[in-house]
Structure 1
């Protein structure tokens, strides 16, 4: 599977993401600067974490208005798989590719620690390497990860099985409604998640629980 990592000013997790995709897939992803004119013909587009444009206005708000996001939106509409992690999740919601919003953490503090995640839906390209109900470890590092959606939208997300990951065992680090840690779009080919699976893919990281996300995607 061919993949690409899209980089915006202020992101700081692109090297981690490139390393994860290369190590697990065996082929380095294309690295695309947000102002590049073209996006290669790929099967997977990844927007990594960080603080695009310094999180000015709102986290992800400026990056979401980049012309590159129009290209990503068009690819997603054609069925290309898109993954946004942390700031990438924020960018996808701001761009309208995913429902809901990511607000300031309930504690009003930056959180950086390991949490527990329950696999709420194992029938997606992003989670097929796990079992439904399985609980895994995954690190988080964010200040604006508090997922919120209005009642009607939240009901649709839940009813459509769009929740892929939930914070488990009382480890919700930000106050996200329904303990939501990661969701897909209605079609199921675009996912955003706040935790960082790319930082838990080999024993040297302290575990390999994040590896199955990339193994499943890259084997698709």
Structure 2
């Protein structure tokens, strides 16, 4: 399904949502701009008030941070806010085929709002406290699942690296829910070891996520959430290899996720 936004073809407008506690909006907007979009950092209250209309944007990104201080759990309060104040508009945005990306805290928001894995606005999976009981800040290896329907991970055919920075990133789901995600190609990213194989072992799997899940999408593939930060790896200079003198990287490993989002809109 392609996004139905013919009036947004040239440098598509991307709404980078802001709220109290979100603190990765500037680098997220910069990544969207480098990927070819026109990013606008807009506070959720302006969207609710109608000063910025969802339907005027080609894509929506919910960045990382600690929305509303993560009181009542990571992403929970912003999720409740979005469901009660923007629920119907968000559903129409998704059903129209427009891309929605949630990074770290944004992933938590999408899960707790029910937009992922997608059953109306009903939560069916969770992201909870890391198995190790501590905040994790490190680079991890990832594999994009070749059978996934996720539009954001298209063309990623080799393991790549992104940083994580979270205390509540452990993905959990009931057995039948996990089986359905597998069946419908909704598992988009997994944590992998040095051999490129999915792993439950720490620190390659930094939080103990079930089935090594690092990111999932909805059945249409246009809503995607991941715990690692592509916004912190959109430039090659941001990777540790650059500091070590391996400067053959033409782009940051995270940039392709933003490029895929915008290529989809322009297709």
**Higher strand proportion, which one?**
1
Once the two structures are TM-superposed, the CA of residue 24 in structure 1 deviates from its matched residue by: 2.0
Q: Is the 8 A contact 1:201 1:211 kept in 2?
A: yes
Structure 1: give runs of 5+ residues left out of the alignment.
none
RMSD of aligned residue pairs (Cα, Å)? 1.5
Once the two structures are TM-superposed, the CA of residue 78 in structure 1 deviates from its matched residue by: 2.1
Alignment of 1:7-46 (within 5 A): 7-25=18-36, 27-36=37-46, 37-38=49-50, 39-40=53-54, 41-46=56-61
Q: Is the 8 A contact 2:149 2:219 kept in 1?
A: no
Of 90, 106, 111, 2:136 maps to: 111
Cα distance in structure 1, aligned partners of 2:105 and 2:88: 18
**Does residue 60 of structure 1 match 2:37?**
no
Q: Is the 8 A contact 2:149 2:220 kept in 1?
A: no
**Does residue 102 of structure 1 match 2:122?**
no
For 2:98, the equivalent position in structure 1 comes to 80
Once the two structures are TM-superposed, the CA of residue 98 in structure 1 deviates from its matched residue by: 0.8
Once the two structures are TM-superposed, the CA of residue 46 in structure 1 deviates from its matched residue by: 0.3
Cα distance in structure 1, aligned partners of 2:161 and 2:126: 24
Q: Is the 8 A contact 1:120 1:165 kept in 2?
A: yes
Runs of 4+ in 1 over 6 A off after TM superposition: none
Aligned residues: 217
Structure having the higher Rg = 2
Cα distance in structure 2, aligned partners of 1:42 and 1:16: 19
For 1:126, the equivalent position in structure 2 comes to 152
Once the two structures are TM-superposed, the CA of residue 43 in structure 1 deviates from its matched residue by: 1.7
Cα distance in structure 2, aligned partners of 1:28 and 1:13: 17
For 1:174, the equivalent position in structure 2 comes to 207
Instruction: Give secondary structure in 2 for the equivalent of 1:137.
Output: strand
Deviation per CA, 1:137-176: give whole Å up to 9, x if none: 0100000000001111111001111011000004110000
Deviation per CA, 1:155-199: give whole Å up to 9, x if none: 100111101100000411000000000000122111110000111
For 2:258, the equivalent position in structure 1 comes to 214
**Higher helix proportion, which one?**
2
**Does residue 162 of structure 1 match 2:172?**
no
TM-score by length of 1: 0.93
TM-score by length of 2: 0.78
